[in-house]
Structure 1
Amino acid sequence: MPDVDVAVIGAGAAGLSVAAICNNLGLKVALIERGRMGGDCLNYGCVPSKALLAAGHAAAEARAAARFGIRLPPPEIDWAGVRAHVRGAIERIAPNDSAERFRGMGVDVIEASAHFLTPDTLEVGGRQLRFRRCVIAAGSSAVIPDIPGLDGVPWLTNETLFELEEPPGHLIILGGGPIGLEMAQAHARLGCLVTVLEAAPRIAPREDAELVEGLRAALLRDGVEIREAAKVVAVEPLEARSETPQAGVVAVLEDGSRIAGTHLLLAIGRAPRLASLDLAAGGIAASPRGVATQADLRSTSNRRVWAVGDIADPEGIGPRAFTHVASQHAGIVVRSMLFRLPFTRVDYAALPRVTYTDPELAQVGLTEAEARERGIAGLAVHRWPLGENDRAIAEARPEGLVKLVVDGRGRLVGAGVLAPRAGEMAGMFGLMIGRRLPLSALAGLVLPYPTLAEAAKRAAGEYYAPKLLSAGVKRVVALLRHLP
């Protein structure tokens, strides 16, 4: 006889959502977490990083106030106060994810490690736990690269960065993806020297190259040094000297150049937390990318098991390390596991992603390059610069761009935005792509004036402008003008 209906391994965003829904539907649920409730997002990722970015944004706005005719002294950075703000954000959200809250709901919260003994049994904290169904939501952690010398120097990941009691003197960041760029800008705005080393030809390699140009310019204005196509071949310890009073690390690049800093942040990617689960004992197929699942997130080899969040590797689709994907996965698992609904499957066609720098870079659906690689018929790209947006002009922030990728039938297949709070527009584009709405829906949308979102509407209007101003339409208007 099973001990529980559903065993959930991991109390991050995905695991908490699955546990809450299953419990509310009357199932007996065990929620197993060996670390902090709330997982990476609350404790080491989304929440602390956005809190630190907000502090950096406040400092940057104080420095730039003169553009409004307001003159302020240079901001003084109180690092202890910044850390208190970051901790306060975590502490305010933490009760929603706490063991006490979930136990109050009736969930059996077990604070221990778990690993599989058999296809339907876990060992949890020294005892056996049999389940009808199991959901693996163990998440991911920062990739630790195999770089000569790394074991001889101190380094940071997102799990340790926010514990620094003093600001880094010179932060070297390996990786120019979202985490690396966000932390680069936040620390630069808070008075730290920052160097980003990206091995690929450009930073943010997954994002639209045209939008990345504007983001790069913004980071450089904030004082971030960016080295692209910069492969690190070794790291060495840096001893404190009179000219470098803080000990640190030296990054040795493939071209022979050496960059010395006080701290090294590893931000080159994420890897699923598989090692401690003993998936083989559970008959669960996996790869270095994660737990192998069907499109409905059910294990390809153990029909009692599902995987959600960063650790899930749906066949033909691959993993996505976003908190909002974890929430999406929870809904899919409920439909698949509990209601046995057919044709339930992961679909990332309208998946948004945002790099939360200032300006933010948001992308929904395909980039222009991805759309061209797929050979989409009748592909068209329409842009509207923020320099032509009244709200951006009023706020003296005219740098940025809205870029729409449209197929031959006039449907949006991708949208990219570089703008302050660009992520706030992502939902609008996601709805259009997900519901396959024609671009006319956006072009005809009535938006409040003045807003940055009007740039999206103007970009959509560019698709119809040639049709509305065609010779045929002008002839019709000329004929109709004679009517009373």
Structure 2
Amino acid sequence: MNEVLTPDICVIGGGSGGLTVAAAAAAFGVEVVLVEKGRMGGDCLNYGCVPSKALLAAGKQAEAMRHASRFGIADVEPQVNFGQVNRHVQGVIDAIAPNDSVERFTALGVRVIQAHGRFTGKRTLLAGDVEIRARRFVIATGSSPLVPPIPGLDSVGYLTNETLFEQTRKPGHLVIIGGGPIGMEMAQAHRRLGSDVTVLEAARALGKDDPELAAVVLRRLCAEGVDIREQAKVTGVEPRGKAGVRVHAATPDGDIVVDGTHLLVAVGRAVNVDGLDLDKAGIAHDRRGIKVTDKLRTTNRRVYAVGDVAGGLQFTHVAGYHGGLVLRPLLFRLPARVNETIIPWVTYTDPELAHVGLTEDAARQKHRNISVLRWPYAENDRAQAEHRTDGLIKVVTDRRGRILGATIAGAHAGEMINLWGLAVSKGMTVRDIAGYVPPYPTMSEIGKRAAVSYYAASTRNPWVRRLIGFLRKFG
């Protein structure tokens, strides 16, 4: 006979969103059951954000060695031991893993069940041999790498982000299908660690970002030797020799063939809903995810969905944001509403590419009259001191100077975007940014200079100049 549990909240999925809900609810003394069939910490810790940033850090060190002469230090071609690089990556995962572990959450008072969960009714979930009848459910099952139906793909040992970080030998020639953030980050990391890299993108590389600023990143990657083929739709894959791969693609200029030693598929993510038996719980969903309201409630009023599986922006910080939001109705019966316009995102290439709010094109469609403010890194003293002058900030405002969005391409863009995320979320104006005092010399001054440039036209206004001249008469 199955064990029966009747917790206040049952969370399905042990990634960022699920762990946020479980930890916070348990802290308030609420009885929580967490169901996770895989590794605690989810995709981000084990296969995504953490290992990819660790690999990028290794590549950044290698690249710095090649260009040390800018600072009067001899250039050195790094000797890369890919096995040790892999141990570095795994070491970072191991250092963070205790924060997301079964032991920690058990100590917090959460009952963790390591089994596959599936709904058997509108308020009942079966996880292994445990039946859970909860007051409320939160689905936080995340997403997995999307594998497109490319002819011949199953005949080769292709990689995804779930298997890429298991490699202990450097790829000779890594072919990447997909020119989005994951594809471009891994392209640069592997190129800097000594691999040849070709990226095949069916449309435009970094296509979700502002083209002007994405071009800054793409120019750098090309300069470092990454072969980026845009408008190259992969039509087939076949084995080449004992361990190689041959990729066929169609381009506007004709068909091309790319030979490599390894193949990485990075064309997007598919939400994890298979096997949950959502229909038995009356939960509507489609290929994009579970259908939710702007309050993250599903078609079953007892069930919420957060993170990737909710069908919106697929970022770890979004899952955490969702988790915090649903705690309001779950614990306090308070309203909560998702606002995706305040969500920033970052592509962690070098230079980084960060964005929050509306792009220039989106702002022009929504607002008739906008201002676009730019300021280059080359005009910043700290950027000059560090020889990191590639890039710029681009700020979009409405006609009254309210900040609608910002995009940054350049060093530390991921850190610098935080101020602009606050500005967008609080409805701040360029006057607010122009009035704050950043320390000198920092790259944060780039943002302030962009804000101050909003007033440049005023310095040429004849009425303003006449006013200044008139006031001078009074001493």
- 1:126-147 Cα shifts (integer Å, max 9, x gaps): 2321111110000000100010
Structure 2 distance, partners of 1:126, 1:167, is: 43
2:125 counterpart SS class: strand
Partner of 2:62: 59
> Which letter maps to 2:324?
G
Partner of 1:194: 197
Structure 2 distance, partners of 1:26, 1:397, is: 50
> Which letter maps to 2:136?
R
2:222 counterpart SS class: helix
Q: Is the 1:62–1:72 contact (alpha carbons within 8 Å) kept by the matching residues of 2? A: yes
Task: Say which of 384, 389, 405 aligns to 1:398.
Answer: 389
- 1:51-100 Cα shifts (integer Å, max 9, x gaps): 00000000011111111111132111111221111011101110100000
Partner of 2:341: 349
> Which letter maps to 2:113?
I
Partner of 1:340: 333
Deviation at 1:349, TM superposition (A): 1.3
Partner of 1:424: 415
2:94 counterpart SS class: helix
Q: Is the 1:378–1:409 contact (alpha carbons within 8 Å) kept by the matching residues of 2? A: no
- 1:347-403 Cα shifts (integer Å, max 9, x gaps): 0112101000000000011111121232x1321111011111111111111110110
Sequence identity, in percent?
52
Q: Is the 2:11–2:139 contact (alpha carbons within 8 Å) kept by the matching residues of 1? A: yes
Task: Say which of 153, 165, 179 aligns to 1:162.
Answer: 165
1:403 counterpart SS class: strand
Structure 2 distance, partners of 1:192, 1:276, is: 39
Q: Under a length normalisation based on structure 2, what TM-score does the superposition of the two structures give?
A: 0.97
Structure 2 distance, partners of 1:73, 1:303, is: 61
Structure 2 distance, partners of 1:447, 1:29, is: 44
Partner of 2:177: 174
Deviation at 1:323, TM superposition (A): 0.6
Deviation at 1:217, TM superposition (A): 0.7
> Which letter maps to 2:337?
R
Unpaired segments of 5 or more residues in structure 2? Answer: none
Structure 2 distance, partners of 1:183, 1:441, is: 38
Structure 1 distance, partners of 2:448, 2:76, is: 39
Structure 2 distance, partners of 1:249, 1:91, is: 32
5 Å-filtered alignment, 1:387-466, equals 387-466=378-457
Q: Is the 1:8–1:32 contact (alpha carbons within 8 Å) kept by the matching residues of 2? A: yes
> Which letter maps to 1:195?
T
1:321 aligns with 2:321: no
Deviation at 1:168, TM superposition (A): 0.8
Structure 2 distance, partners of 1:373, 1:153, is: 45
Deviation at 1:338, TM superposition (A): 1.9
1:74 aligns with 2:77: yes
1:252 aligns with 2:255: no
> Which letter maps to 1:107?
V
Structure 2 distance, partners of 1:446, 1:80, is: 46
Deviation at 1:2, TM superposition (A): 6.0
Structure 2 distance, partners of 1:4, 1:66, is: 62
Runs (4+) off by over 6 Å? none
Task: Say which of 205, 208, 213 aligns to 2:207.
Answer: 205
CA RMSD of aligned residues (A): 1.1
> Which letter maps to 2:402?
R
1:151 aligns with 2:144: no
Partner of 1:140: 143
5 Å-filtered alignment, 1:256-295, equals 256-295=255-294
Structure 1 distance, partners of 2:244, 2:420, is: 44
1:5 aligns with 2:1: no
Structure 1 distance, partners of 2:358, 2:265, is: 28
Partner of 2:301: 303
Partner of 1:238: 240
1:332 counterpart SS class: helix
1:367 aligns with 2:359: yes
2:8 counterpart SS class: strand
Structure 1 distance, partners of 2:287, 2:342, is: 26
Q: Is the 2:296–2:326 contact (alpha carbons within 8 Å) kept by the matching residues of 1? A: yes
Q: Under a length normalisation based on structure 1, what TM-score does the superposition of the two structures give?
A: 0.95
Structure 1 distance, partners of 2:134, 2:255, is: 56
Deviation at 1:3, TM superposition (A): 1.3
How many pairs align? Answer: 469
Partner of 1:479: 470
Q: Is the 2:5–2:131 contact (alpha carbons within 8 Å) kept by the matching residues of 1? A: no
2:341 counterpart SS class: coil
Structure 1 distance, partners of 2:168, 2:236, is: 27
Unpaired segments of 5 or more residues in structure 1? Answer: 241-246, 314-318
> Which letter maps to 1:15?
G
- 1:18-51 Cα shifts (integer Å, max 9, x gaps): 0001111111111111111000010000000000
Structure 1 distance, partners of 2:148, 2:75, is: 43
Deviation at 1:333, TM superposition (A): 0.3
Structure 1 distance, partners of 2:164, 2:318, is: 24
